[in-house]
Amino acid sequence: MCGIAGIVLKPGQSPDLAVLDRMTSALAHRGPDGRGHHVAGQVALSHTRLAIIDIEGGDQPLFAGPAALIGNGEVYNYRELRAENALTCTTGSDCEPPLHLYRRDGLRFVDALRGMYAIAIHDRSARRVVLARDAFGIKPLYIANVPGGVAFASEPAAILASGLVTPRIRSEAREELLQLQFTTGVETIFEGIRRVLPGEAMVLGDGMVLERMRRAALPEGGPEPVTEEEALARFGAAFHESVDLHQRSDVPYGMFLSGGTDSAAVLAMMSRLNERPVLAYTAGFDVPGSADERERAAHVAKAAGARHETITVGEAEVWRHLPEIVACMDDPAADYAIIPTWFLARRARQEVKVVLSGEGGDELLGGYGRHRSAMRPWWMGGKAMRAHGTFDRLDVLREAPRAWRDGLAAAEVGVATSGRTRLQAAQALDIADWLPNDLLTKLDRCLMAHGVEGRVPFLDEGVARACWRLPDAMKVRDGRGKWLLRQWLAREFPASDPFTKKQGFTVPVGTWIAGAAEKLAPLVAAQPGVAEIARPDRILPLFRAAAGKREGFAAWHLLFWALWHARHVEGRRMEGDVFEALSAR
């Protein structure tokens, strides 16, 4: 897990090393263990390293003949790639095999990779730079046209730090963020900064994009006939292999444990594969009556023989650190789960540099209520996913958002391929945008803020093959999602109580906002980013009512937007707690 950045200019131009240094410095948190760069002709690459594999010899850039590589992430099957392809490597780095495979296979080198990655390769002989991102979009990568060429980086903040792009907001993306809590598609919230899409590989040359190709994360086709025993065996084998691969590390690792089935499955498999007790981290809250997963997680951890560490996320500490939590979300996702994730990462960094997490289980196995609803035709109560936005009927915004669902609508058309069931289409929609642009962005930014690598073994091509084409009834049955995973846990780890109804994960941010409404609402209303979109007289009533579910989400989104806009558009330093940060101008 690292940070990468680069500039590809038109012929006859040379990169400004001061620009490259600003981009590199903006990614320092992603790679606190070292820096490296490569400058040749009109191309410059830079790398900040979080050392995980081959601690001593894995510094980047890596070189082979006329090619240089920088990468962010992990290629888990690097040992197999070396052996199967008889590669002669000079380091133990997981990123060296992809460099040799590129020299042999060109853009198709990505077909052999199993992992999470954003890679840049400068091929001097072909006078081109190749960018590639993993199929699920676990690792981020962004690109922008700049004067004289193209810039790319692991985070939009690094591109903005270059000074080559001005932070201007796309109103369509702002509507998406306020209504959905994330933004969709190739365009980010910043004008001119685009995402390299999940699974995309592209060729840059002469200061422009010359070629693109894309690798699908999901197998083609609808459900295929399979017996329950075959399905369980297939999933068990794939998940065993995936968790085993995801544990490859030369530094200590642990996991994030919630009260749900996904992390319980990760824990069960890690416990099976490790001789030492698994180190598991769980967060809870100091609000009476709030959903708190610590007791259930402790039960599961004890049954697995894990060493269980818990933290309490309190209101005072949230207010103290919220400006820096929001600041790390430069590609904004107003998911309140950024709060416990950031605090868990801070705690985990005291002992480990790698954590495994359960993201992806719901998406691959039909775990959300919206998936079950999408299975039903409209006359039986079925409805499109995310048909309603956060601010609908609240009379808070100056203008009612109108285009906020356009990106989702376009994605719905794209995922409704021949043979897919309603359930598969709903899952694919989440995998296309919600997963990379909310959940995985949250995990990446909150962990990298503390120099911790996050790994997600459900999001693996072997697990996807085992799960994606299962019959709908093996994903959703008796009103519950993830039926196959629950069955597997019932056999392999019955102490996890997989058929017990989960209480649901919530962060009591609405309660906190309501309690601080008199002080917080006027500060939020006075922020330039909020003043241009919201009616100032409606913010205090909204914040006072934030203990309610709908009002709480809306108040949180406004608070998030106020802090985010101040940092990433206005460029304010945002020092002190939330009240001090919003008061400073």
Q: What pLDDT shows up at residue 287? A: 83
Of the pLDDT bands very low, low, confident and very high (cuts 50, 70, 90), residue 574 is: confident
- Asked whether residue 383 carries a pLDDT value surpassing 80, the answer given is no
Domain end call among 214, 236, 259 = 214
Closest by CA to 89, choosing from 99, 104, 75, is 99
Least confident span in 244-253, 255-264, 280-289, 539-548: 280-289
C-beta of residue 208 within 8 angstroms of C-beta of residue 150? yes
Domain annotation covers residue 475: yes
Domain annotation covers residue 292: yes
Q: What is the mean pLDDT of residues 46-69?
A: 97
Of the pLDDT bands very low, low, confident and very high (cuts 50, 70, 90), residue 501 is: confident
pTM for the model stands at 0.97
Q: Which two tokens stand for residue 236?
A: 């068990």
On whether both 161 and 271 belong to a single domain, the answer is no
Domain annotation covers residue 223: no
Query: What one-letter code names the amino acid at 118?
Result: A
DSSP class of 433: I
Domain residues for the domain of 104 are: 2-214
* Tens-digit pLDDT profile for residues 443-471: 999 999 999 999 999 999 999 999 999 99
Closest by CA to 329, choosing from 123, 172, 182, is 182
Domain end call among 496, 521, 551 = 496
Instruction: Match 């500490």 to its residue by tokens.
Output: 317
Q: What is the mean pLDDT of residues 256-276?
A: 96
DSSP class of 234: H
Domain annotation covers residue 345: yes
On whether both 248 and 354 belong to a single domain, the answer is yes
On whether both 237 and 306 belong to a single domain, the answer is yes
Of the pLDDT bands very low, low, confident and very high (cuts 50, 70, 90), residue 1 is: low
On whether both 443 and 559 belong to a single domain, the answer is no
C-beta of residue 474 within 8 angstroms of C-beta of residue 250? no
C-beta of residue 350 within 8 angstroms of C-beta of residue 465? no
Domain end call among 190, 214, 238 = 214
- Asked whether residue 408 carries a pLDDT value surpassing 90, the answer given is yes
- Asked whether residue 56 carries a pLDDT value surpassing 90, the answer given is yes
Q: What is the mean pLDDT of residues 286-302?
A: 87
Domain annotation covers residue 411: yes
Pairing assessment for the beta strands 253-256 and 149-153 based on DSSP bridges: unpaired
Counting DSSP H helices and E strands in the chain, the numbers are: 23, 17
Domain annotation covers residue 219: no
Domains of the chain: total: 3
On whether both 367 and 388 belong to a single domain, the answer is yes
- Asked whether residue 502 carries a pLDDT value surpassing 70, the answer given is no
Closest by CA to 282, choosing from 341, 339, 361, is 341
On whether both 522 and 479 belong to a single domain, the answer is no
Q: What pLDDT shows up at residue 378? A: 67
Q: pLDDT exceeding 70 applies to what percent of the chain?
A: 98
